[in-house]
């Protein structure tokens, strides 16, 4: 098993990509602390996982909760997967201060806070892999109606590259995952919202999302999880500071 002996912390593990990754990490032998702000979804997750996966409620925008986690959880983490993020819709002129504030706090600041909380023990251990969830909608590709989102996901790539550059000599690797369109519960909600706002059917909007990929389909959460497993494992020991695109050819 590729992650035997590793301790991993995953955010937003209640559903979607975070959930699939927490389960994949555990299946590969890691001891996983799966966190999410939603207690109910964590309970469901715990039921479908083995004893090497435990759960803890964590709202990543809560600075105090992050400090508490760092002091209360004594184990040093080998892997941190910063997965939590929000997808505000709209172009620049559709955005307001509230959108910018929430997206900044949830998509960027939370990752820097958690990394600051976890990194000292990784440094003491002399190794660690931090994986940050970005997106193809970022500095990689301009996407219609994703202004606030793409700005923050571009910042995630900047954060990733900075961590990688600063700590490369200390055994720390830091990589970003940049998915395209992945079929998760939040994508379903975005499709419904777009259909309502355009007075279109959900099926027709879903088809628009499907058509973005030359591969002809959306990605599955498990496919993103497989990349996260690779980046968490020692198989990826020569990659750091990279934005790993996984998008069915959308940005090609
Ligand atoms: P999802 O909506 O299916 O799941 C999100 C999870 O995050 C939920 O369990 C929710 O409770 C949790 N969450 C939300 N706010 C939180 C907070 N403040 N603290 C802790 N947990 C919180 O999401 P997903 O589609 O799997 O997306 C996960 C990540 O992947 C996000 O960062 C998203 O931007 C990114 N991403 C998704 C896609 C896609 O197409 N689905 C594409 C590119 C990037």
pLDDT digits (tens, 9 = 90+) for 189-242: 989 999 998 999 999 999 999 999 999 999 999 999 999 999 999 999 999 999
Ligand 1 centroid to residue 36 C-alpha, Å:
10
Q: Are 34 and 10 in contact (CB under 8 A)?
A: yes
Q: Are 207 and 214 in contact (CB under 8 A)?
A: no
Q: Give pLDDT tens digits for 139-186.
A: 999 999 999 999 999 999 999 999 999 999 999 999 999 999 999 999
**Dist. CA 221–CA 157, nearest whole Å:** 20
CB of 12 shorter than 6 A to ligand 1: yes
Q: Which of 18, 210, 245 to mutate to test the pocket of ligand 1 (most atoms within 8 A of CB)?
A: 18
Q: Which of 44, 46, 84, 150 to mutate to test the pocket of ligand 1 (most atoms within 8 A of CB)?
A: 84
CB of 87 shorter than 6 A to ligand 1: yes
Q: What is the pLDDT of residue 224?
A: 98
Q: What is the pLDDT of residue 179?
A: 98
| Nearest CA-CA partner of 160 in 107, 230, 208, 112 | 112
User: Ligand 1 atom closest to Cα of 13?
Assistant: 9
Beta strands 53-57; 79-82: pairing state: unpaired
CB of 135 shorter than 6 A to ligand 1: yes
Q: Is the pLDDT of residue 74 over 90?
A: no
**Dist. CA 179–CA 66, nearest whole Å:** 26
Q: What is the pLDDT of residue 38?
A: 98
Catalytic residue among 25, 77, 81, 149: 149
pLDDT band at 75 (very low <50, low <70, confident <90, very high): confident
Q: Is the pLDDT of residue 6 over 90?
A: yes
Active site residue 167: no
**Dist. CA 79–CA 11, nearest whole Å:** 11
> Closest Cα to atom 3, ligand 1: which residue?
16
End-to-end CA distance of the chain: 33
Q: Rounded to two decimals, what is the model's pTM? A: 0.98
**Dist. CA 160–CA 111, nearest whole Å:** 10
Cα dist. 42→5, 15, 59, 189 in Å? 23, 8, 12, 20
Q: Give pLDDT tens digits for 24-62.
A: 999 999 999 999 999 999 999 999 999 999 999 999 999
| Nearest CA-CA partner of 156 in 251, 91, 82, 240 | 82
Q: Give pLDDT tens digits for 93-135.
A: 999 999 999 999 999 999 999 999 999 999 999 999 999 999 9
- Mean pLDDT computed over every residue of the chain: 97
Q: Give pLDDT tens digits for 176-199.
A: 999 999 999 999 998 999 999 899
Q: What percent of the chain has pLDDT over 70?
A: 100
Q: What is the pLDDT of residue 66?
A: 98
Polymer length of the chain: 252
Q: What percent of the chain has pLDDT over 90?
A: 98
> Diameter of the chain by CA atoms?
56
Ligand 1 centroid to residue 16 C-alpha, Å:
7
> Closest Cα to atom 44, ligand 1: which residue?
135
């Amino acid at each position: 098993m590729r992650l035997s002996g590793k301790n991993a912390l995953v955010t937003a593990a209640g559903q979607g990509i975070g959930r699939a990754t927490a389960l994949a990490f555990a299946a590969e032998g890691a001891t996983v602390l799966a966190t999410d702000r939603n207690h109910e979804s964590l309970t469901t997750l715990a039921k479908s996982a083995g004893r090497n996966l435990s759960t803890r409620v964590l709202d990543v925008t809560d600075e105090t909760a992050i400090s508490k986690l760092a002091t209360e959880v004594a184990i040093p983490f080998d892997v941190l997967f910063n997965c939590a993020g929000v997808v505000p819709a709209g172009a620049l002129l559709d955005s307001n201060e509230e959108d910018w504030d929430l997206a900044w706090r949830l998509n960027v600041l939370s990752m820097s806070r958690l990394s600051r909380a976890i990194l000292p023990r990784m440094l003491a251990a002399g190794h660690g892999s931090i994986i940050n969830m970005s997106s193809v909608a970022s500095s990689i590709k301009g996407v219609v109606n994703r202004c606030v989102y793409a700005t923050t996901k571009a910042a995630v790539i900047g954060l990733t590259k900075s961590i990688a550059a600063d700590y490369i000599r200390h055994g720390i690797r830091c990589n970003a995952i940049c998915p395209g369109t992945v079929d998760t519960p939040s994508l379903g909600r975005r499709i419904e919202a777009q259909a309502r706002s355009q007075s279109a059917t959900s099926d027709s909007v879903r088809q628009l999302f499907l058509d973005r990929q030359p591969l002809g389909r959306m990605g599955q959460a498990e496919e993103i999880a497989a990349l996260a497993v690779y980046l968490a494992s020692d198989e990826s020991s020569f990659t750091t500071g990279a934005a790993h695109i996984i998008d069915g050819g959308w940005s090609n």
